[in-house]
């Protein structure tokens, strides 16, 4: 049976625009679909003059059509890109952002607001990936309020290599870099945006991370200078958005999702923290509501990565510098973090 136009459009919804979590159909880039028996013709018009983007989209469409319609005789894909204006700067892409070739994947951990346990999730996911056998680094992007040194139990300053690059200290097998390593205790950072951007660039280009499978970047809460600078400086493979179940948190998290979309960073999924509390009698209590993260993921079409319970031992592990994944790996909360890490590893390859 030959495919229909509706079937072709439905299949093309699986083709994401490079750097975005949205598909080319919802972006309105598919201008025409023609079906002639076992042959399909697709016309796409892009807004970016970057020929690399056009090539990626065309290749992805051909693969999608051949996978979706096994009996396809021919797939003709025409991609139109606008002509760059004379003297115009080239359109920015992720490929122009910095990336040490020895780092395979870079993942940003973000939230739209503070107090959702983003740094707690970052350290536990980093340790979980390390427990699964990966080589992992964790960069603290919160310049004003660095918390990674405390949560990972490391206070030593980084050493300096012969080429004047910083050698990051390690905690629980994870390489670490944070502004907290460079400050005196209780010293405040009182900087404007350009200084924040410069520091983030130095953490990327002047730190000898070595060979890593994953570099996790713990972003500060919100959508300000630090978040924008990092997303525009580092070639990110994707972002993980942390939320808690209540609508007040989920509503603000949508702003973090919008930030990722605007700077062309794919969203790997939403992770819900503090999902429930287990009382001494074993009963489960949803102190902040139930299912807000899962519902938002389903509404936006993003993967839902999992639920992390609200547990005193998670907080104690962070205060002691021994994340629960390391200190109590058999605890249900630790297993939840390990399951999320395994899912991310599978998704990213």
Percent of the chain residues topping a pLDDT of 70: 87
Instruction: Flag whether pLDDT at 233 surpasses 80.
Output: no
Q: What is the pTM of this model?
A: 0.70
Identify the pLDDT of residue 91.
42
Residue ranges and CATH numbers for the domains of the chain are 5-80 (3.30.300.130), 94-348 (3.40.50.300)
How much of the chain, in percent, has pLDDT values that exceed 90? Answer: 32
Q: Which of 2-6, 144-148, 223-227 has the highest mean pLDDT?
A: 2-6
Q: Report the range of poorest mean pLDDT among 75-89, 202-216, 292-306.
A: 75-89
Contact partners, residue 154, CB within 8 Å, separation at least 6: 169, 170, 171, 176, 181, 321
In this prediction, residue 261 has a pLDDT band, given cuts at 50, 70 and 90, of confident
Contacts of 86 (CB under 8 A, 6+ apart): none
Least confident range from 26-35, 230-239, 289-298, 333-342: namely 230-239
Q: How far is 145 from 151, CA to CA, in rounded Å?
A: 13
Give the pLDDT confidence score for residue 290 in this predicted structure. Answer: 85
Q: How far is CA 145 from CA 187, 312, 348, in A?
A: 10, 22, 29
Q: At what angle do helices 118-131 and 332-348 cross, to 10 degrees?
A: 70
**Which pLDDT does position 226 carry in this prediction?**
64
Burial class (CB in 10 A: 0-12, 13-18, 19+), 345: middle
pLDDT at site 81: 81
The span from the CA of 321 to the CA of 256, in Å, is 28
Q: State the pLDDT at residue 89.
A: 41
Residues 6 or more apart in contact with residue 159 via CB below 8 angstroms: 166, 167
Instruction: Render the burial of 194-205: b for 16+ CB within 10 Å, e for the rest.
Output: eebbebbeebbe
Looking at residue 225, what is its pLDDT?
Answer: 61
Average pLDDT, the chain: 83
What separation in angstroms does the CA of 110 have from each of 169, 252, 348? 23, 12, 18
pLDDT at site 238: 86
Closest CA to 271 of 286, 250, 288, 289: 250
Give mean pLDDT, residues 237-250: 85
Name which residue leads in pLDDT, 203 or 41.
41
- pLDDT category, 223, cuts 50, 70, 90? low
Q: What is the pLDDT of residue 313?
A: 93
Assign 246 to helix, strand or coil: coil
Tell me what pLDDT residue 286 has. Answer: 86
Instruction: List pLDDT tens digits, range 9-50.
Output: 999 999 988 766 678 888 788 999 998 888 899 999 887 777
DSSP secondary structure string for all residues of 41-82? EEEEE-S---HHHHHHHHHHHHHHHHHH-TT-SEEEEEEE-P
Residue 64: C-alpha distances to residues 9, 12, 42, 186 (Å):
11, 7, 12, 54
């Amino acid at each position: 049976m030959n495919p229909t136009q509706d079937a072709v459009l439905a299949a093309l919804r699986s083709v994401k625009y490079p750097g975005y979590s949205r598909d080319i159909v919802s972006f309105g880039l598919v201008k025409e679909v023609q079906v002639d028996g076992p042959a399909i013709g697709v016309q796409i018009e892009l807004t970016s003059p970057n020929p690399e983007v056009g090539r990626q989209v065309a290749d992805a469409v051909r693969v999608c059509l051949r996978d979706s319609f096994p009996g396809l005789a021919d797939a003709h894909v025409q991609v139109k890109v606008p002509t760059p204006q004379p003297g115009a700067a080239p359109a920015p892409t992720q490929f122009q952002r910095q990336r040490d070739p020895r780092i395979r994947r870079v993942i940003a951990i973000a939230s739209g607001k503070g107090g959702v346990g983003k740094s707690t999730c970052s350290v536990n996911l980093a340790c979980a990936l390390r427990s699964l056998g990966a080589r992992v680094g964790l960069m603290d992007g919160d310049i004003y309020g660095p918390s990674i040194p405390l949560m990972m139990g490391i206070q030593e300053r980084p050493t300096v290599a012969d080429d004047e690059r910083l050698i990051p200290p390690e905690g629980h097998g994870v390489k670490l870099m944070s502004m907290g390593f460079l400050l005196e205790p209780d010293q405040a950072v009182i900087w404007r945006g350009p200084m924040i951007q410069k520091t983030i660039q130095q953490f990327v280009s002047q730190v000898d991370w070595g060979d890593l499978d994953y570099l996790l970047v713990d972003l500060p809460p919100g959508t300000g200078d630090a978040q924008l600078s990092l997303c525009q400086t580092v070639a990110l493979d994707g972002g993980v958005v942390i939320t808690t179940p209540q609508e007040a948190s989920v509503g603000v998290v949508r702003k973090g999702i919008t930030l990722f979309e605007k700077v062309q960073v794919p969203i790997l999924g939403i992770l819900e923290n503090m999902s429930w509390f287990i009382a001494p009698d074993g009963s489960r209590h949803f102190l902040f509501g139930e299912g807000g993260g899962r519902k938002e993921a389903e509404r936006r079409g993003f993967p839902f990565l999992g639920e992390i319970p609200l547990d005193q031992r998670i907080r104690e592990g962070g205060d002691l510098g021994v994340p629960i994944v390391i200190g109590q790996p058999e605890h249900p909360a630790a297993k939840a973090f390990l399951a999320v890490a395994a899912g991310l590893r599978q998704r990213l390859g």
